[in-house]
Amino acid sequence: MGDRDEIPDQARAVLALLQGEADMPLAGLYLHGSAVAGGLRPHSDLDLLAVVDRPPGASARHRLLDALLRISAPYPAPVGGPRCLELMVFERSALARPSAAMESTFVYGEWLRERFEAGELPQPLADPEHTLVLAQARRQAVPLAGPAAADLLPAIGIAQVREAMRQLLPGLLEGLEGDARNVLLTLARMWWTAGTGTFLSKDEAAEKAANAFGASTGELLHAARRAYLGFAGDAELGPPALLREVAGHLSREIEARL
């Protein structure tokens, strides 16, 4: 990512958008997630994280949201075309207070498109998922504007990371139906981080967990990994009863490490 030609066009568009908002001065914009941890996969979202010196007012939220609805591809994005975007915006002052549920000032993601198109505006939100994103981004994110991630994003301790995972587990399991691949891969990543304090890409974590557990859990994680990499479809994952069994097994293994 040292060469600006490597910056995805959609990320360039978001950068220009944020730099044009004078009432929410941009302190930094970072590319994180799959783009910097193993490479973008066929169905990967383009994950961006911004830090601003002042939170956006209502008019800026409207402008930002309207533009993102145009820049981001609706889910499911076709392979080879524009990607689904995820943008998390944090106010700099909020980052000075690390917790197990860090507060964002604005979040855009395609899972929220229907609500946004109905007139809802992104609002400040404290969420343990933000804590995990920030902890990983501080170690891996690539700046598109501003200083190195470690110079701007907060240092979040492993105790806060583990508490964030503890809070996230119940809701994650509830989302198994309809999003099984992502849930299983996220559980594999949480299992790895809970035990090591480090972060891996989804496919790397799935391989580690599959090799550690073997049997039906390992086979299902290998299938989820293949689907994530674009080598197979989600139909290979198996029946709902098996998905619940494996997700429950992974959840118990995570809880034992927390």
**pLDDT, tens only, 124-158:** 999 999 999 999 999 999 999 999 999 999 999 99
| Ranges of CATH 3.30.460 domains, the chain | 4-156
CB hemisphere CA count around 23 (13 angstroms): 9
- Residue 243 contacts residue 180 (beta carbons within 8 Å): yes
At 45-89, the pLDDT tens digits run 999 999 999 999 999 999 999 999 999 999 989 888 999 999 999
When pLDDT is cut at 50, 70 and 90, the band that residue 36 belongs to is confident
At 153-208, the pLDDT tens digits run 999 999 999 999 999 999 999 999 989 999 999 999 999 999 999 999 999 999 99
- The residue ranges of DSSP E strands in the chain, in sequence order, are 26-32, 46-52, 85-91, 102-104, 106-109, 125-127, 142-145
CA 43 to chain centre: 13
Q: Which letter does DSSP use for residue 106 in this model?
A: E
pLDDT value of position 43: 72
How is domain 4-156 classified at the CATH fold level? Beta Polymerase; domain 2 (3.30.460)
Between 147 and 3, the higher pLDDT residue: 147
CB hemisphere CA count around 195 (13 angstroms): 16
